[in-house]
Amino acid sequence: MEGVMANMRGKTVLITGASRGIGASAARVFADAGANVALLARTEDAIADLTKEVGSQAMAIPCDVSRFWEVQKAVDACVATFGQIDVLINCAGLIEPIAHLSEADPEDWGHLIDVNVKGVFNAMRATLPVMIENDGGTILTIGSGAARTPYEGWSAYSASKAAALMLTRTVHNETSAQGIRAMSLAPGSVATDMQVIVKDSGINPASQRGWDEHVPPEWPAKALLWMCGSEADPWCGEEISLRDNEIRQKVGLV
């Protein structure tokens, strides 16, 4: 990890969903590694506070990732301030609606797809031209084991994570020759606000987990940093699982 941290000094990382959870933890981890961090989220106050905490290496950009024009404007602002984008981290995501397919609210279902799928596409689409022009970059997206498992009540979430994984694979196929490294991280069960929603739903075994069964958000944040190094290259175009003990050892997690 020391080599990865050394290589991040002066680099620029754009993080969606940076107001809390994994996104906020990633902002701190990458800033500690010497990177500039552009923090995107709809919650303006939260990213403003995090920017003050991080200091001059950070900038807050209010943004709804489901709207391409807002994402493009955020990317333009990031480049204008820091000169480039070396890493994109797609953390923005929703878990609701948690409901049986026959009862799910169509508007809520569609809104999740707008954020979890269109949001990932929008961020990739806006940053790729910048990265290609600069001869490369890394695109990391928060995935989930739900991309492969149809959990009860999670039709929207599972479908969105499967779609996001396919976007990662597509970016790899289309742009790896241009220096783009694209990977997904399935972090497992993480102690974030999302787990409170899952718990309150009472649907499927995931809602029965105790809080001590969730890993802290700093773990996936550190994994994302490790994924920026060459040791993670064998996983380009695929998904890394943080439930894998071998991966945890590589990242340096206990």
- According to the model, what pLDDT value does residue 83 have? 96
Let me know: does 172 contact 237? Beta carbons within 8 Å: yes
- According to the model, what pLDDT value does residue 199 have? 74
Ramachandran area for residue 115 (φ above 0: left; ψ -120 to 50: alpha; else beta): alpha
Buried b (16+ CB within 10 A) or exposed e, 156-194: bbbbbbbbbbebbbebbeebeeeebbbbbbbbbbbbbeb
Ramachandran area for residue 219 (φ above 0: left; ψ -120 to 50: alpha; else beta): alpha
CA distance 180 to 174: 9
Flag whether pLDDT at 4 surpasses 70: no
Flag whether pLDDT at 5 surpasses 60: no
What is the tens place of the pLDDT at every residue in 166-187?
A: 999 999 999 999 999 999 999 9
The reply to whether the predicted model has a pTM over 0.85 is: yes
- According to the model, what pLDDT value does residue 1 have? 58
If we measure between CA atoms, which residue out of 89, 46, 77, 78 comes closest to residue 184? 89
pLDDT average, residue stretch 224-228: 97
CA distance 183 to 120: 13
Distances (CA, A) of 159 to 63, 109, 116: 24, 10, 9
What is the tens place of the pLDDT at every residue in 45-54?
A: 999 999 999 9
**Every domain of the chain and the residues it spans:** 2-247
2-247 carries CATH number 3.40.50.720: yes
CA distance 239 to 8: 22
- According to the model, what pLDDT value does residue 91 have? 97
Q: What percent of the chain has pLDDT over 70?
A: 96
CA distance 85 to 137: 8
Which of 82, 109, 154, 157 is an active site residue?
157
Q: Examine the residue annotation and report whether 157 is marked as an active-site residue of this protein.
A: yes
CA distance 216 to 192: 8
